[in-house]
Copies of this chain bind each other. A is one copy, B any other.
Amino acid sequence: MAVIFSGCSNTSQSDAQEQPLQRYASVTGLKPEKLEYYKQLHAAAWPAVLKKIKACNIENYSIYLKEIKGEYFLFSYFEYRGNNFKSDMAKMAADPETQRWWKETDPCQLPLDDAKAEGKIWSDMEEVFHTD
């Protein structure tokens, strides 16, 4: 669930009363032997981690699992309502509870080559369609 990535944001102006919404979607691999542990962790995510996600202006955050041609992949989707994504992500990365959580989740994941090359877990995806 390490969400340190850049770019790939899309802005919607549908709600004028709040910060403009930016959608982020990304993908990573999941080690088959870690499948059950990853699901178990996320079925009861730590309250401190969830609280930090919210404090960092991330909302409507889902992670999906799919086996594709014998390999497991995780897809994440969330919405960001802050005004400085980079700074909020730095805040999240500096949180000791989140660091402790990532120590559990990172070893479950198999980053794709493009993410690996940048020392990241998740690869950004390109939005090709959106309708409110």
Contact = CB atoms under 8 A, between A and B. Distances in A.
How many copies, total?
2
Contacts of A73: 68
Interface size class, chain A: 35 or more
Chain A facing B: main interface SS: strand
A128 B68 contact: no
A130 B62 contact: yes
B61 A126 contact: no
A101 to B, nearest CB: 12
B74 A128 contact: yes
A60 interface: yes
Given A25-B75, A77-B25, A129 B1 contact: yes
A127 interface: yes
Contacts of A130: 61-63
Nearest to A78: B131
Given A59-B132, A75-B25, A127 B68 contact: no
A124 to B, nearest CB: 8
A127 B27 contact: no
Contacts of A74: 128
